[in-house]
């Protein structure tokens, strides 16, 4: 019986760590958006800045949903991460920032892309583990 309890405890610890990691990545994505928006002001057309602001507000709503314990936040965060990468990665301008060397713009692009990729990996894992632990 003790072995089973220890295994359950490890499973519960893994789930707690996984949820904490996903939540933290969502919060960091929101914070990174705060750093990104001033960088873009004056560099991009107003319609593009507005669309990026709308995306950031969507992430902010997801972060509030996470903070209030709403499970719908995780599928929404997955969709936002997917959309963020789908819009950001094809842009050649983003790679020119990286090629020019380390700067605030290149760091924001690299960190933001890594965050979204991590969310695309961890959210399905978390949702799968959460659902399988219910049965």
| Residue 89 pLDDT > 90 | no
Other CB atoms within 10 Å distance of the CB of residue 124: 13
Question: In the structure encoding, which two tokens stand for residue 25, read together?
Answer: 């990545």
| Rounded Cα distance, 2 and 70, in Å | 33
More confident residue, 95 or 57: 57
Question: In the structure encoding, which two tokens stand for residue 18, read together?
Answer: 């996984």
Angle (nearest 5°) at CA 50 between 46 and 51: 120
- pLDDT of 9 reads 81
Q: Please provide residue 103's backbone torsions phi and psi, each rounded to the nearest 5 degrees.
A: -150, 175
Helix, strand, or coil here: 39? helix
What's this model's pTM, rounded to 2 decimal places? 0.85
- pLDDT of 1 reads 46
| Residue 98 pLDDT > 70 | no
């Amino acid at each position: 019986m003790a072995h089973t309890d220890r295994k359950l405890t490890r499973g519960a610890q893994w789930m707690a760590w996984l949820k904490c990691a996903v939540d933290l990545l969502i919060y960091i994505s929101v914070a990174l958006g705060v750093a990104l928006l001033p960088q873009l002001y004056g560099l991009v057309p107003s319609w593009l800045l507005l669309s990026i602001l709308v995306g950031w507000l969507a992430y902010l709503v997801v972060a509030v949903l996470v903070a209030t314990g709403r499970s719908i936040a995780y599928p929404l965060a997955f969709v936002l991460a997917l959309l963020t990468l789908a819009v950001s990665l094809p842009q050649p301008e983003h790679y020119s920032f990286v090629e020019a060397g380390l700067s605030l713009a290149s760091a924001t692009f690299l960190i933001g892309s890594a965050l979204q990729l991590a969310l695309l990996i961890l959210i399905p894992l978390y949702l799968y583990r959460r659902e399988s632990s219910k049965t």
